[in-house]
């Protein structure tokens, strides 16, 4: 038995494993994603999904579906020798967290969700087909105007064509504009440091291509209401939902619909926040949610 495995055995009884599921899809993880968890209690596992972050091939769309990712998460759990773990996901990460937990409810000790995204048609239409333009018209018009008028019947499909173009310059320009639209709307008050991430072609390409790929394919979900209709599978799992009142990317209608279907989950609305997990009020509620689940685990309540 290796010393590394002995070390894992020695800490596995102390640390609670938690898997962090990033947004996008395509955004990847970063070290500051660890800030929501007590490092003396949690074993924090940051997972770069297919084609994103440090995963290779970069920005790859082949064999990249919600169910491939669900399988990857389960394989990761098995690879690490973890019997069960907590699941944490925001934005697209909340979609994936629900899909994984509903597929493997016996492996999940607790769930923290942020910026609820159920990948329904009305949510995609809101953000990518003109609804959010009512709030951010200055950010919306460059996104819309990149596409010729005769192709604006479905901007998601029009961007899909360009994000998969054989011409690299077309692909990179489409990726930059797609990504910038989301970065400019992710905070209640636009965050310049966040928007500058859109200057990185490598980040843009993975973020835009993978995100668009999932949206063109309706998240690879069998039905529009699939995640809500399967709540009974996870109703018993201790869960906290955190939602910014003024979230433009993932508007509160989705969190509200989930809350009504799942009243057993604790529902926290942050009154002065938008979408980003890094907004002060949302970050504080996410830390509080993990502390609550930590205390329940320590007391033997889960």
Q: Which residues are catalytic?
A: 91, 247, 275
Burial 179-199 (b: 16+ CB within 10 A, else e): bbbbbbbbbbeebeeebebbe
Query: 3-class SS at 44?
Result: strand
Q: Are 127 and 249 spatial neighbours (Cβ–Cβ below 8 Å)?
A: yes
- The count of C-alpha atoms lying within 13 angstroms of the C-alpha of 176, restricted to the half-sphere facing its C-beta, is 12
| CA–CA gap between residue 137 and residue 195 (Å, rounded) | 16
Burial 160-176 (b: 16+ CB within 10 A, else e): bebbeeeeeeebbbbbb
- CA 199 remoteness from chain centre: 21
Instruction: Kindly report the number of other CB atoms within 10 A of residue 272's CB atom.
Output: 13
Distances (CA, A) of 264 to 81, 117, 235, 237: 30, 19, 7, 9
For 91, phi then psi, to 5°, come to 60, -125
CA angle 226-218-269, nearest 5°? 60
Q: What is the DSSP string of 79-133?
A: HTT-S-EEEEEETHHHHHHHHHHHH-GGGEEEEEEES-----HHHHHHHHSSGGG
**Taking Cα atoms as reference points, which of 270, 212, 215, 220 lies closest to residue 241?**
270
- CA 47 remoteness from chain centre: 11
**Is 203 exposed, middle or buried, given 0-12, 13-18 or 19+ CB atoms closer than 10 A?**
buried
């Amino acid at each position: 038995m290796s010393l590394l495995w002995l070390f894992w055995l020695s800490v596995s009884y102390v640390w609670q494993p938690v898997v962090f599921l990033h947004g996008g899809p395509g955004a990847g993880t970063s070290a500051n994603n660890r800030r929501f968890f007590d490092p003396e209690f949690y074993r924090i596992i940051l997972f770069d999904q297919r084609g994103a972050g440090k995963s290779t091939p970069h920005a790859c769309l082949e064999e990249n579906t919600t169910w491939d990712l669900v399988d990857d998460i389960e394989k990761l759990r098995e690879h690490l020798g973890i019997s069960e773990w907590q699941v944490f996901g925001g934005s697209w990460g909340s979609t994936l967290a629900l899909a994984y937990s509903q597929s493997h409810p016996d492996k999940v000790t607790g769930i923290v969700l942020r910026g609820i995204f159920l990948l329904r048609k009305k949510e995609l239409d809101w953000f990518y087909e003109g609804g959010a333009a009512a709030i951010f018209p200055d950010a919306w018009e460059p996104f819309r105007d990149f596409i010729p008028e005769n192709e604006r019947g479905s901007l998601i499909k029009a961007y899909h064509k360009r994000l998969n173009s054989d011409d690299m310059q077309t692909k990179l320009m489409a990726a930059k504009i797609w990504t910038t639209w989301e970065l400019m709307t992710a905070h209640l008050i636009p965050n310049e440091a966040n928007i500058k991430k859109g200057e990185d072609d490598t980040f843009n390409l993975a973020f835009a291509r993978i995100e668009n790929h999932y949206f063109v394919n309706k998240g690879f979900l069998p039905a529009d209401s699939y995640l809500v209709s399967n709540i009974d599978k996870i109703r018993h799992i201790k869960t906290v939902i955190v939602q910014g009142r003024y979230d433009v990317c993932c508007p509160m209608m989705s969190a509200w619909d989930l809350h009504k279907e799942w009243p057993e989950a604790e529902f926290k609305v942050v009154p002065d926040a938008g979408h980003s997990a890094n907004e002060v009020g949302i970050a504080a509620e996410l830390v509080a949610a993990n502390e609550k689940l930590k205390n329940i685990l320590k007391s033997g309540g889960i």
